Amino acid sequence: TTTPRNSLCQMLWLLAVSLLVAPAVAATFDPDLICTLLVNGTKINDPRACNTWIQCIDDLPVNGTCAEGLLYDRESEDCLPSADVDCISSDPCAQMPDGFTSDPYSCNGYYYCKNGMGTRGECNTGLNFNPGTEACIRDYPCTAKMNPDSYCNILPDGVFIKDPWNCDGWQMCWQAELVNGSCPDGFYFSARLGKCDYPQNVQCAFTQPPPQTAQPDVCPKAGSFISDDRSCNGYYYCRNDTDGQMVLEHGVCSDGRFFSAANGGACVPRTDIRCEYNRCVNMGYAAIQLANLSDDGCVGFAICQNGTAIAVADCPNGEYFDELTQLCTTQVISFAACAL
Ligand SMILES: *[C@@H]1O[C@H](CO)[C@@H](O)[C@H](O)[C@H]1NC(C)=O
Ligand SMILES: *[C@@H]1O[C@H](CO)[C@@H](O)[C@H](O)[C@H]1NC(C)=O
Ligand SMILES: *[C@@H]1O[C@H](CO)[C@@H](O)[C@H](O)[C@H]1NC(C)=O
Ligand SMILES: *[C@@H]1O[C@H](CO)[C@@H](O)[C@H](O)[C@H]1NC(C)=O
Ligand SMILES: *[C@@H]1O[C@H](CO)[C@@H](O)[C@H](O)[C@H]1NC(C)=O
Ligand SMILES: *[C@@H]1O[C@H](CO)[C@@H](O)[C@H](O)[C@H]1NC(C)=O
C-alpha cells in the first residue's frame, strides 16, 4: 500500500487522465556533447542523479560519486551534506525514492516512486500537481521551474560553454540566468580555451551555416534585409536561391551599429535604434562599458562586460543616463534608443 495519504492518493487517481502515459519531455542532457564544449578539467553537475558529478577530461565525461549522505553542489563543485543542496534532477525519484513527486519537466505531471522507480501520471487539463498536498489543483501556480538539463542546473556560475550551433557563440549561467553571447566580429569561440580566439586556432564545423529557407511572407522581396529577431545587430539577407526558394543569410552589423528594418533594412548608429535584445553586444571587452536600456525614458543603464549585461541600474535622484559621456546627468536625455 502506498501510505497514510490514501484519500489524497485516491483523489489523485481520480483526477489523473491516465498513468503510464508516454514520458513527457525527454531529458536532453548529453555529457558526451557537453564535454566537447567545455575547458578541459571542468566539473559539472550530473542532473540524472543528485550525488554524482561529471568531469570533462580530454573532451570525454568521467563520472564521480559523492560519499554516502552527501550530494553534489554545482556552485562549490564539491560534495556537501544533503541538507545544503537543492537537487533538481531529471530523475523524479532521485530525492524521493518512495511516494508522489512532481514531474521535473512539466507542471501537470507527477510520478509515483517506489524503490526509486517512478510511474508517471498526469493531471487533467487545467490542473497542476501540487507536491505539497500531492493533489491535482486547478490553476496551481507553476512558475519558473528549472529544467534539470538547463546549463544553470549543470554548470557553475561564470563558466563559459561553447554554443554548439555556431562558431562564435558562447553561453554562460549567471545567477540562475542563462546568458548568451558571441565573440567580436572575426573571432571564434574556443571551447579548449574557454574564450574567443582567432578562427585559425579554433576547430569549428559550422564555418558556413547552411542557409535557412525563409517562411512565406518573412521576406518582403528578394534582396531585402530583415531582423534576425534575436539580436540588436544581427540581420538576415533574403536571397533567391537557384531553385527559386527564398533563403536567409545571417549577418551582423559592424561595431556601433544596430540593424534597422526600415526602408528595406540597414545598419544604423546604435543610438538611433530601440531594441529589446541585448544592447551590450560588442561592448565591454576592454573595460566595463555602460549602455542605454530601451523604453525606460533614458534613466537606466546596463553594465556591459564581454558583450553581455552583468547588471542594470538607474541613475540616482531621477537623473538621466547619457551613453555618450557614460555619465548620469540632470540634463534631460531623450534619445531614440531609450525614449519611452
Ligand atoms: C586534460 O586534463 C587532464 C586532467 O586534468 C590532464 O591529464 C590532460 O593532460 C589534459 N589534457 C590536455 C590536452 O591538456
Ligand atoms: C556514468 O553515469 C551515468 C549515469 O549514472 C551512467 O549511465 C554511465 O554508464 C556512467 N558511465 C561510466 C563510464 O561509468
Ligand atoms: C540563448 O540561446 C539559446 C540557443 O541558441 C536559445 O534557445 C535561448 O533562447 C537564448 N536565450 C536568450 C536569453 O537569448
Ligand atoms: C526571385 O525569384 C522570383 C520568382 O522566381 C523572381 O520573380 C524574382 O525576379 C527573383 N528576384 C531576384 C532579385 O532575383
Ligand atoms: C572577459 O574577457 C576577457 C578577455 O577575453 C577575460 O580576461 C575576462 O576573464 C572575461 N571576463 C568575464 C567575466 O568573462
Ligand atoms: C544611447 O542613447 C543615446 C541617445 O540616442 C545615443 O546617442 C547613444 O549612442 C546610445 N548608446 C548606445 C550604446 O546605444
Closest-CA residue, ligand 4 atom 12, reads: 222
| CA count, 13 A, side-chain hemisphere, 152 | 12
Among all ligands shown, which has an atom nearest to the Cα of 179?
3
Rounded CA-CA distance 263/43 in Å is: 49
> Would you call 8 helix, strand, or coil by DSSP?
helix
CA angle, residues 141, 145, 149, in degrees to nearest 5: 160
Instruction: State the virtual CA torsion across 266, 268, 271, 277 in degrees, nearest 10.
Output: 40
The residue whose C-alpha atom lies closest to atom 9 belonging to ligand 6 is 271
**Ligand with minimal distance to 158 CA:** 5
Binding pocket residue ranges, ligand 5, CB within 6 Å: 195, 305-306
Judged by phi (left if over 0) then psi (alpha if -120 to 50, else beta), residue 318 lies in: left
d(CA 185, CA 168) in angstroms, rounded, equals 8
Task: Kindly tell me the sign of the dihedral angle through the C-alpha atoms of 298, 301, 307, 308.
Answer: negative
Tell me whether the CATH fold assigned to 4-138 matches the one assigned to 157-201.
yes
- Please give the pLDDT value at position 144: 64
pLDDT tens, the chain, 340 aa long: 333 333 344 444 433 333 333 344 456 888 998 999 999 999 999 999 999 999 999 999 999 999 999 999 999 999 999 899 989 999 989 888 899 998 988 888 999 999 989 999 999 888 889 888 888 988 888 766 788 999 999 999 999 999 988 888 999 999 888 999 999 888 899 999 999 998 888 887 665 556 678 787 888 888 889 999 989 999 998 888 877 788 888 888 888 899 998 888 899 988 788 888 888 888 888 888 888 777 788 888 989 998 888 888 999 988 999 888 889 999 888 778 777 7
Q: Which CATH architecture has domain 4-138?
A: Beta Complex (2.170)
Q: Which CATH architecture has domain 157-201?
A: Beta Complex (2.170)
106 lines ligand 3 (CB under 6 A): no
Pick from 172, 195, 197, 303 the residue to mutate for probing ligand 5's pocket: most ligand atoms within 8 Å of its CB. Answer: 195
Distance CA 39, CA 35 (A): 8
Cβ neighbours of residue 339 closer than 8 Å, sequence gap 6 or more:
274, 297, 298
pLDDT at 142 (0 to 100) = 78
For residue 25, report the phi and psi dihedrals to the nearest 5 degrees. Answer: -110, 125
Global pTM reads: 0.53
**CATH code for the structural domain at 278-340:** 2.170.140
Name the residue ranges covered by the structural domains of the chain.
Answer: 4-138, 157-201, 212-272, 278-340
Q: Which of 57, 63, 93 is the best mutation target for the ligand 2 pocket, counting ligand atoms within 8 Å of the beta carbon and taking the most?
A: 63
How far does residue 292's CA lie from ligand 6's centre (Å)? 6
By the 8 A CB rule, do 36 and 59 touch? yes
Strand partners, 102: 110
Q: Is the dihedral of CA 37, 39, 44, 48 positive or negative?
A: positive
Residue 322 corresponds to which cell in the numbers above? 547619457
